[in-house]
Amino acid sequence: KNQVEQSPQSLIILEGKNCTLQCNYTVSPFSNLRWYKQDTGRGPVSLTIMTFSENTKSNGRYTATLDADTKQSSLHITASQLSDSASYICVVSLGNQGGKLIFGQGTELSVKP
């Protein structure tokens, strides 16, 4: 079954600290992996999109990694800010079925002052 699992479910960190969110997937065939940020009451916003051949991609303080062999991805947030408080969603796109997206449940990140 095509699944995307994220951990931890929730995380609390202090402002200025770094953190890493994990994503494991059992999706086949694989097309690409995406990380989204979803602020409370808003729609998801794309952070990164990585294809099979890319193993790291950055967007400002956000760095995503992809290990296609172990089917794992991580999102590293550097020097966290209060505005980083949000849900972070890992999404894998299928290589067939019209590029169907398989969504993870998200990691709820809270950054405290």
Partner 1 sequence: NAGVTQTPKFQVLKTGQSMTLQCAQDMNHEYMSWYRQDPGMGLRLIHYSVGAGITDQGEVPNGYNVSRSTTEDFPLRLLSAAPSQTSVYFCASSYSNLGSYEQYFGPGTRLTVT
Place of tokens 């994220």: 6
Of 27, 73, 104, 107, the residue at the interface with partner 1 (CB under 8 A) is: 104
CA contacts within 13 A on the Cβ side of 33? 31
Tell me the window of 17-25, 36-44, 61-69, 70-78 that interacts with partner 1 (CB under 8 A).
36-44
Tell me the window of 14-22, 41-49, 55-63, 64-72 that interacts with partner 1 (CB under 8 A).
41-49
Nearest to 67, CA basis, from 9, 22, 17: 22
CA separation for the pair 105, 96 (Å, rounded): 22
Tell me the window of 58-66, 68-76, 78-86, 97-105 that interacts with partner 1 (CB under 8 A).
97-105
Question: Does the footprint of partner 1 cover residue 105 (CB under 8 A)?
Answer: yes
